[in-house]
Amino acid sequence: MDTLIARAVTDLKNARNAVALTGAGISIESGIPPFRGKGGLWERFDPMEIAHIDAFVADPELVWRVLVKELKEVIDRALPNDGHKGLERLGRMGILKTVITQNVDGLHQAAGSTDVIEFHGTFAWQRCTECETRVPTRDVDASVLPPRCSCGGILRPDAVLFGEMIPPEALWRSQEVAARCDVMLVIGTSAVVQPAASMPIIARQSGARVIEINPEPTPLTGAVSSYLIRGGAGEVMNRIMAALEHPG
Q: Which residues are catalytic?
A: 120
189 binds ligand APR (CB under 6 A): yes
200 binds ligand APR (CB under 6 A): no
List the one residue out of 92, 106, 109 whose CA is nearest residue 32.
Answer: 106
233 binds ligand APR (CB under 6 A): yes
Give the nearest residue (CB) to ligand APR: 25
**What's the start-to-end Cα distance of the chain, in Å?**
18
Q: State the nearest-atom distance from the C-beta of 81 to ligand APR, in Å.
A: 9
218 binds ligand APR (CB under 6 A): yes
DSSP 70: I
> At residue 133, what are phi and psi to the nearest 5 degrees?
-60, 140
Taking the alpha carbons of 39, 41, 44, 47 in that order, is the dihedral positive or negative? negative
7 binds ligand APR (CB under 6 A): no
Residue ranges in 43-102 that form contacts with ligand APR under rule CB under 6 A? 102
In the three-class reduction of DSSP (H, G, I as helix; E, B as strand; rest coil), residue 48 is classed as: helix
Cβ 201 vs Cβ 93: under 8 Å: no
Give the residue with the Cβ less far from ligand APR, 147 or 232. 232
In the three-class reduction of DSSP (H, G, I as helix; E, B as strand; rest coil), residue 113 is classed as: coil
173 binds ligand APR (CB under 6 A): no
Q: State the nearest-atom distance from the C-beta of 144 to ligand APR, in Å.
A: 26
Q: How many CB atoms lie within 10 A of CB 244?
A: 17
190 binds ligand APR (CB under 6 A): yes
Which residues bind to ligand APR, rule: CB under 6 A? 23-26, 28-29, 34-37, 40, 102, 120, 187-190, 193, 214-216, 218, 232-233
